[in-house]
């Protein structure tokens, strides 16, 4: 499922030692992790390297930030060698989960595998690992960090990071993001917040954060909810005391052996003239749930609502998400044929629906996970006008 990086070569360890004040050692622990360390008293942070721009280079130019990936891979061990200041914050163990082809070729088995590893390394009784960092290609990173966030069974920090510029670029962002992610993951104040995202000096919640720009380093943001903190001088400064996001639910996948067992959920774009035959086709192709990016705040066409009712009778949920980059798809005051996604965009709604189905919640159970908190806020004695 996942592979611990092989023991670092003598040449690599020596290359770090040349630029550090103390010698670098590598020690294996009971998990089989090999810890790269300058100081054994520092916190331990495990790095799950799934690849991405942060590991990439370009053969074209040092100003290429659009067609990179053709150059040699820049593995995390090299980054530790070039930026050994990272080892002044924590001891690092590297778990290689990278695959060729970029994050657009990944699927939900990745978040399952990362979550399974993190639950073992962070949440096992007696574990002395302070936190985890994940490298990931930014194209689909929010799918993976959201899936891990909802399935990690302890309060230790899990921090997602990466890069928007390859290592060959004249001002690459990867090393800074790496250092800051390690600083956050090793900070005692980072726990009890759920999954975290660290990019471009900012710390935000994995539950709410989305990628907002396809090209610029300042892309991962929680637009409505804001940042949890910032990195100043590389160190985390928290704006708030620890707390978990409202409506964040934990899903236990410990009984599932393989990520391929996760139910198939598709996302459809709810344009004008939406073709409802796509909903039937998705089910015929094995979909156990459907997310539709509805118009505005998750509005579905009359025909789509009708088909959603037919699928509801078959136990197949349809979730209405929203097309705008921010806002909420709020539930109606009356019974619906579909489920409203709340503040979740379609990508996150797909992951949560997949997890609801994987844990056997059924149509009504899935609806409660998505809608319960928002329903309680909107529909109560203060809004009795909806029912008069």
DSSP characters for 204-223? EETTT-EE--SS-SS-EE-T
How many CA atoms does the CB half-sphere of 62 hold within 13 Å?
2
**Three-class DSSP category at 327:** coil
Output the six-digit token pair for 248: 């964040």
Output the six-digit token pair for 160: 């997602």
Output the six-digit token pair for 352: 């949560």
Contact present, 132 and 43 (Cβ < 8 Å): no
Annotated catalytic sites, by residue? Answer: 53
Output the six-digit token pair for 101: 């082809």
**Residue 205: which H helix or E strand, with range?**
strand 202-205
Q: Which residues, 6 or more positions from 234, have their beta carbon under 8 angstroms from its beta carbon?
A: 176, 179, 180, 183
Output the six-digit token pair for 136: 């990931």
Nearest to 112 by CA among 288, 291, 262, 265: 262
């Amino acid at each position: 499922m996942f592979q611990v990086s092989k023991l670092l070569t003598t040449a690599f360890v020596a290359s770090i030692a040349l630029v550090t004040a103390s010698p670098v050692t590598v020690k294996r622990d009971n998990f089989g992790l090999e810890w790269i360390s300058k100081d054994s008293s520092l916190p331990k942070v495990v790095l799950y390297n799934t690849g991405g721009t942060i590991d990439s280079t370009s053969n074209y130019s040092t100003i290429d930030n659009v067609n990179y990936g053709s150059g040699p891979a820049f593995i995390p061990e090299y980054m530790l060698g070039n930026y050994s200041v990272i080892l002044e914050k924590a001891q690092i163990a590297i778990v290689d989960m990278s695959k060729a082809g970029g994050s657009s070729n990944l699927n939900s088995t990745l978040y399952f595998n990362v979550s399974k590893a993190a639950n073992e390394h962070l949440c096992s009784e007696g574990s002395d690992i302070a936190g985890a960092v994940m490298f990931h290609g930014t194209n689909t990173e929010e799918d993976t960090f959201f899936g891990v966030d909802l399935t990690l069974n302890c309060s230790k920090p899990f921090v997602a990071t990466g890069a928007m510029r390859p290592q060959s670029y004249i001002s690459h962002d990867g090393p800074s993001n790496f250092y800051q992610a390690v600083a956050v993951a090793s900070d005692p104040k980072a726990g009890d917040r759920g999954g975290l995202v660290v990019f471009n000096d900012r710390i935000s919640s994995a539950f709410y954060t989305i990628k907002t720009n396809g090209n610029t380093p300042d892309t991962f943001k929680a637009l409505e909810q804001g940042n949890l903190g910032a990195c100043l001088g590389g160190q985390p400064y928290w704006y708030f005391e620890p707390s978990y996001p409202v409506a964040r639910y934990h899903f236990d996948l410990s009984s599932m052996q393989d990520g391929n067992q996760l139910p198939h959920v598709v996302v459809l774009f709810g344009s004008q003239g939406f073709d409802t035959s796509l909903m039937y086709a998705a089910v015929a192709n094995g979909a156990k749930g459907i997310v539709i990016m509805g118009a505005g705040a998750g509005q579905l066409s009359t025909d789509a609502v009708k088909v959603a009712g037919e699928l509801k009778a078959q136990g197949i949920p349809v979730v209405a998400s929203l097309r705008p980059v921010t806002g909420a798809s709020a539930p109606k005051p009356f019974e619906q044929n579909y489920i409203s996604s709340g503040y979740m965009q379609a990508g996150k709604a797909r992951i949560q629906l997949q997890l609801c189905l994987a844990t056997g919640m059924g149509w009504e159970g899935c609806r409660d996970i998505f809608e319960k908190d928002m329903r309680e806020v909107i529909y109560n004695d203060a809004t009795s006008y909806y029912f008069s």
